[in-house]
């Protein structure tokens, strides 16, 4: 999996809707892999607030950073920058940062 179940639950709780073929995810761990969001779905969910995704690799260690628009949710001047071991995790964390209450 590119996104751990626990992060998927956080996404769901923040308002991200998991839908496949018109059916919404029931929230169970056993069914989660069928509903795991793709990178393109996560980027689309961030909307115009998604700026870029950057890979910082060093040997076997890969780190990804997703950057978001600084003009929203009273973000600091430098905007949002969220990291993760996969691009999906980085963008999922960005979605969560952009959708804080």
- Round to whole Å and give the CA distance between 91 and 81: 9
pLDDT at 10 over 60: yes
The predicted pLDDT at position 62 comes to: 72
Average pLDDT over residues 1-26: 92
The predicted pLDDT at position 73 comes to: 52
Domain ranges within the chain, ordered by starting residue: 5-98
- Round to whole Å and give the CA distance between 78 and 89: 20
The predicted pLDDT at position 76 comes to: 54
The predicted pLDDT at position 77 comes to: 56
- pLDDT tens per residue across span 21-72: 899 999 999 989 999 999 999 999 999 889 999 998 777 777 999 999 866 5
- pLDDT tens per residue across span 63-101: 999 999 866 555 555 568 899 999 999 999 999 999 887
- Round to whole Å and give the CA distance between 66 and 42: 11
């Amino acid at each position: 999996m590119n996104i751990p179940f626990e992060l998927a639950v956080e996404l769901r709780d923040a308002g991200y809707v998991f839908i496949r073929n018109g059916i919404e995810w029931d929230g169970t761990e056993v069914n989660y892999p069928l509903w795991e969001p793709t990178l393109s779905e996560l980027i689309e969910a961030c909307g115009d607030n998604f700026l870029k995704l950057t890979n910082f690799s060093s040997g076997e260690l890969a780190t990804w950073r997703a950057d978001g628009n600084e003009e929203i949710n009273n973000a600091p001047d430098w905007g949002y920058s969220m990291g993760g071991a996969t691009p999906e995790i980085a963008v999922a964390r960005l979605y969560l940062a952009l959708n804080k209450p």
